[in-house]
Structure 1
Amino acid sequence: MAVVALIDLLNGPTLGFLSLLTLGPTFASVSGSVRRTALVGVVALALSLPLAAYNHLLGRTQNYVTLTTIIAITGASMLASHLRIGRERELANVRLVAEAAQRVLLRPVPRQAGNMRVALSYTSAAAEAQIGGDLYEVATTPQGVRLLIGDVQGKGLDAVETAAWVLGAFREAVYDKDELPAVADQMETSIVRHLTGEKFVTAILAEVRDDDTISLLNWGHPSPLILRGDGTVHSAEPPEEAVPLGLTSFGHTRPKPYQVPFADGDQILFYTDGVIEARDGRGAFYPLGERMCLLQCEDPQAGLEVLRADLLHHVGGPLDDDAAMLLLRR
């Protein structure tokens, strides 16, 4: 409004800019309260009177129209401010519910599990969302440290509901079954019972015992990468491809467990496809294997944060898909 008044004074009484004073209450309604918007409207009216006198418009119809316009737009802006504040409060309540659901569904992973240190990174594709279709869990059981990472087909609330079923099935079976395939069988049975249509979940189930190996079961999920103590990187590929969870009832074979070396000083990175399918502006995929060297930090969580920052820098903006990374250092 000060700029409008200055322009009006510099251009002289030949050109009238008084109607532009309505920009004041209009912009005030975007971020201010109803009271603040009303006060800005009063200031606009106060400015319009001396400017009208300067432009020789006092007592003329044009000035009455300008004053009426300022009053009307101030009233409309106050209503818009009131509605905006109501929506912001509603959104804040929804976010509180979403945060509570996230704490129940995706509980914080332990930073220490057995003789391993654990690090986690979760980046949602939507900046305002804190939960999605990616899932993870780490549990220390009598049989060893067991973990799950997965990616639900689809997005939105349906994906969150499916993720809840998968995590519930894992948490129920992980402590009761002695062998990893038995955990997988109970998960598959429970998931098939609740999944409808053609929904499926890619996932990896892993178990670390006292020997220098890690056992893996892979349901069509991107294979984890192992960073050896000497800096070399290996992909823990399964011996044969398998279908995702939820599709084995159609006659496909279930995945077979396999073991890969996992000695002291080694790190293994589990991730979802939102990481390796992230593209830069030229369409190039994120080269995760080449960037594994970024994990060579004393603190695994610090290394994973460096890797996440590099991923976001590669994309140059928000991700197109959720990206979860789970790092174990033995």
Structure 2
Amino acid sequence: MTTAEHRDARAVLTWLPAVVMTVVTVVDLTAGPGVGFLPLVSLGPAFSGLIGTWRRTAVTGAVALLLCLGLGAYDGLFDTRRGYTALASVAGVTAAGVTAAVMRGRREAELAGVRDVAEVAQRVLLRPVPRSAGPIRVAVSYTSAAAEARIGGDLYEVVASPYGVRVIVGDVQGKGLAAVETAALVLGSFREAAHEEPDLVALAARLERSVARELHGEKFVTAVLAEIHADEERVVLVDCGHPPPLLVRGDGAVEFPAPPAYALPLGLGVHGGEPPEPYEVRFAPGEQLLLYTDGVTEARDAAGCFYPLQERADLLKDPDAQAALEALREDVVRHAGGPSHDDAAMLLLRYQRG
């Protein structure tokens, strides 16, 4: 359900108690007591308890009791047990609604606290990346599958190291707080190793050891590492089971430079397999390199079709790198008809001319 749909549903539920009690009153007055609609006044506090506070539910219940008293007296129902039964029904439903509203309020307060803590943790984990590194301009977009909590398991980082600008974009198996913990492990190792390891293969091996030591082969992280040498107009890539980056040439041509052979994701080295092989790609002024997670390319429309990233690369033409990436993110959301069911991270590297 989209945010707009959620607001519409909440608005309907907000007005539903008043509408129900009004309908019951009108029907009772026009049809007479023989129809037996009076106990349905209790639907007012019942619906109010679904989303309202306990005070609002209590007020709705009081109004329902007054209506029940008035209509019961008008219909002469208090000469029999029917009127008192209706009153008992309204009072019982009101008490249940107030109790439910109190419990729901406490749960929502606890959940809001957890989400606030998780959001702070996420901001610390995915700290702002530098917007430029020499001639390279950087833009980032992150959308979590846990939209209300704004947390997820995708990761990214940009580090200006002695060996060039080093970048990682990765995707942790799973979602939520457990995935955030794993992402923190990978990013912590990357931020340290990026300044110490002389080449990307050694850097990937160090990340593999860190992940394997903590996760024991139970989870994994797909990742692509990039090392940009702007003065030499080239980028070195290492792919660990991750989707290949998108390269937009100066003339608008689109490529997906793939590795000679895909290595296992980080954390699965205990199962054997060949180490990742580095490969170079020309990266010249006026060109763009987009690193992303599968939450982008695997976003499906109503017909089940994946997002056509190659066909939408022209959305990256905006002179402002962040605006271009935001346009692409919005297009992914439109394609999926709403927020994605998977985390989606994108990191755009743009080689500025001049």
Shorter chain as denominator, the TM-score bin is: over 0.9
The residue type paired with residue 50 of structure 2 is: V
Residue matched to 1:284:
305
Residue matched to 1:28:
48
Residue matched to 1:108:
128
The residue type paired with residue 326 of structure 1 is: L
The residue type paired with residue 217 of structure 1 is: V
* TM-score normalised to structure 1 length: 0.93
Instruction: State the secondary structure of the residue aligned to 1:223.
Output: coil
- Residue 81 of structure 2 corresponds to residue 61 of structure 1: yes
- Residue 342 of structure 2 corresponds to residue 328 of structure 1: no
Q: Would the aligned equivalents of 2:302 and 2:336 in 1 still touch at CA under 8 Å?
A: yes
The one-character-per-residue Cα deviations of 1:213-251 (angstroms, maximum 9, x if unpaired) are: 111111121110111222111112112322222233444
Residue matched to 2:8:
none
Select the residue among 324, 327, 337 that pairs with 1:306.
327
Cα deviation, residue 128, structure 1: 2.5
Q: Would the aligned equivalents of 1:114 and 1:145 in 2 still touch at CA under 8 Å?
A: no
CA distance, structure 1, for counterparts of residue 40 and residue 149 of structure 2: 38
Cα deviation, residue 59, structure 1: 3.1
CA distance, structure 2, for counterparts of residue 33 and residue 283 of structure 1: 40
Q: Would the aligned equivalents of 2:224 and 2:238 in 1 still touch at CA under 8 Å?
A: yes
- Written as runs of structure 1 = structure 2, the 5 A alignment for 1:88-127 is 88-127=108-147
* TM-score normalised to structure 2 length: 0.87
- Residue 290 of structure 2 corresponds to residue 269 of structure 1: yes
- Written as runs of structure 1 = structure 2, the 5 A alignment for 1:218-257 is 218-257=239-278
Select the residue among 221, 234, 238 that pairs with 1:217.
238
CA distance, structure 2, for counterparts of residue 319 and residue 77 of structure 1: 34
Instruction: State the secondary structure of the residue aligned to 2:35.
Output: coil
- Written as runs of structure 1 = structure 2, the 5 A alignment for 1:64-213 is 64-209=84-229, 210-213=231-234
Cα deviation, residue 87, structure 1: 0.5
Instruction: State the secondary structure of the residue aligned to 1:58.
Output: helix
CA distance, structure 2, for counterparts of residue 226 and residue 36 of structure 1: 56
The residue type paired with residue 305 of structure 1 is: E
CA distance, structure 2, for counterparts of residue 26 and residue 177 of structure 1: 64
Q: Would the aligned equivalents of 2:217 and 2:270 in 1 still touch at CA under 8 Å?
A: no
CA 1:179–1:21 in structure 2 vs 1: closer, same or farther (change >3 Å)? same
Structure 1 residue runs of 4 or more that deviate by more than 4 Å after TM superposition: none
Q: Would the aligned equivalents of 1:114 and 1:140 in 2 still touch at CA under 8 Å?
A: no
The one-character-per-residue Cα deviations of 1:147-176 (angstroms, maximum 9, x if unpaired) are: 101112334444333222211110111122
Cα deviation, residue 102, structure 1: 0.5
| Structure 1 residues without counterparts, runs of 5 or longer | none
What is the identity percentage for the equivalent residue pairs of Structure 1 and Structure 2? 57
Select the residue among 19, 24, 39 that pairs with 1:4.
24
Say which structure is richer in helix.
2
CA 1:49–1:141 in structure 2 vs 1: closer, same or farther (change >3 Å)? same
Instruction: State the secondary structure of the residue aligned to 2:209.
Output: helix
